[in-house]
Amino acid sequence: MSYFKTLARSFSYALAAFGVISASEADMTLKRALNPLQGGQISPTPIDVQKLCFESLRKISGTFDKERLHRACQFAKVLPGCQSTLGEPIFYFEKLASSSNSAKKILTMSLIHGDETSSGTVSRSWISRLVDLDSRNSWRVIPIVNPDGFKANTRTNANKVDVNRNFPTANWESQAIARWKRSKNSDPRRYPGPSPASEKETQCLLKHFSDFQPDFIISVHTPLGILDFDGPKHLSFPKFSPLPWISLGNYPGSLGRYMWKDRQVPVLTIELKGSEGISRLEEFDRLQDISGTVAIQSDRYLRSKNRRQKPKTKKVQSEARNQARPESVSGT
């Protein structure tokens, strides 16, 4: 152990011994200090982030193109302050549309639940594809929202909080804890946290929402094997045979509740079936193109709905008629 590590260990345990911090806080302080990509005060260098991106994503099983992933990871970045509870950087990849006229901004995330490993296959496949593609939309992808849960293979983060129940929804204070106790029997896997947005991982996502201002959000999970959409209901959803469209509703503190119900930004939840679900790269490509299509349709619908509330013009009337028209499924 290096001199620095020995010093960090002695110091954190001395603080605990003198009662300045608790033993568990001492343990947490030590873990942060020993993290090679230590969050804390030091920002990771781009090389660190590239390496972290490639080394983390290659651990997820399934088919992928190593060389393309390597190239995609060269564009990995971290927003200031975006670290996990234990100080691991939460990296992202971004590819802007070549023409910005009608492009939508789509934010994709996976592994908000750290034990849903195969949800990371979607992000890995999409960033590897985007690196060589002229895309019709602008994409930002956060492959591992909950790196501590991913490492420990737990649904929750290092504070044992379900990050997807920790968003500061309008009904969090009044309902999150009560509903967790009542309908989930205080299931520890679904604990919403001590207060809204108490978790570093949630705070990081809030930074992304304000930095990227997404028009559409995609969150990837396992294992229900469906596509669940929190957004306008009257769209013509393109068929994707491996995963049917089924609406599940949402919870206090969940992403769908926070972005769609409270903010009118549609959220598509992709629930894979697990590692036996979609596996071929063509299926991932098609799923991405379908998602891009639903993003465009949703935006068109919401814009025409907003305009309908203002005095009508011929142009607005024809847009309203076209709002549910299926978009071609290509080009992401």
Residue 85 or 332: the one with the smaller Cβ distance to Zn ion is: 85
Alpha helices in 76-152 (DSSP H): 120-130, 147-152
Least distance in angstroms from the C-beta of 278 to Zn ion? 16
* Residue ranges in 269-308 that form contacts with Zn ion under rule CB under 5 A: none
DSSP 112: S
Single out the residue of 301, 310, 155, 303 nearest to residue 237, CA to CA: 301
Residue 75 or 229: the one with the smaller Cβ distance to Zn ion is: 229
Q: Is 120 helix (H, G, I), strand (E, B) or coil?
A: helix
Q: Determine, following the binding rule CB under 5 A, whether residue 221 of this chain makes contact with Zn ion.
A: yes
Residue 84 or 135: the one with the smaller Cβ distance to Zn ion is: 84
Q: Is 108 helix (H, G, I), strand (E, B) or coil?
A: strand
Which tokens hold the place of 191?
């604990």
In this chain, which of 104, 105, 113, 129 binds Zn ion, going by CB under 5 A? Answer: 113
* Residue ranges in 66-95 that form contacts with Zn ion under rule CB under 5 A: none
Residue 119 or 125: the one with the smaller Cβ distance to Zn ion is: 119
Least distance in angstroms from the C-beta of 119 to Zn ion? 7
Which distant-in-sequence residues (6+ apart) come within 8 Å of 268 by Cβ?
Answer: 216, 217, 218, 219, 227, 228, 229, 230, 231, 291, 294, 295
**CA 69 to each of CA 110, 111, 122, 163, 276: distance values in angstroms, whole numbers, following the listed order:** 16, 18, 12, 27, 22
Tell me the window of 4-12, 131-139, 215-223, 252-260 that interacts with Zn ion (CB under 5 A): 215-223
Q: Determine, following the binding rule CB under 5 A, whether residue 208 of this chain makes contact with Zn ion.
A: no
**CA 84 to each of CA 5, 47, 50, 181, 248: distance values in angstroms, whole numbers, following the listed order:** 20, 19, 17, 26, 28
Q: Determine, following the binding rule CB under 5 A, whether residue 165 of this chain makes contact with Zn ion.
A: no
Tell me the window of 134-142, 220-228, 231-239, 282-290 that interacts with Zn ion (CB under 5 A): 220-228
Residue nearest to Zn ion as judged by C-beta position:
221
Tell me the window of 6-14, 175-183, 217-225, 306-314 that interacts with Zn ion (CB under 5 A): 217-225
DSSP 258: I
Least distance in angstroms from the C-beta of 226 to Zn ion? 12
Tell me the window of 5-13, 29-37, 66-74, 113-121 that interacts with Zn ion (CB under 5 A): 113-121
| Cβ-contact 216, 268 below 8 angstroms | yes
Pairing between β-strand 226-230 and β-strand 267-271 as defined by DSSP bridges: antiparallel
Least distance in angstroms from the C-beta of 239 to Zn ion? 24
Tell me the window of 15-23, 37-45, 106-114, 206-214 that interacts with Zn ion (CB under 5 A): 106-114
Which tokens hold the place of 259?
């972005």
Positions that interact with Zn ion (CB under 5 A): 113, 116, 221
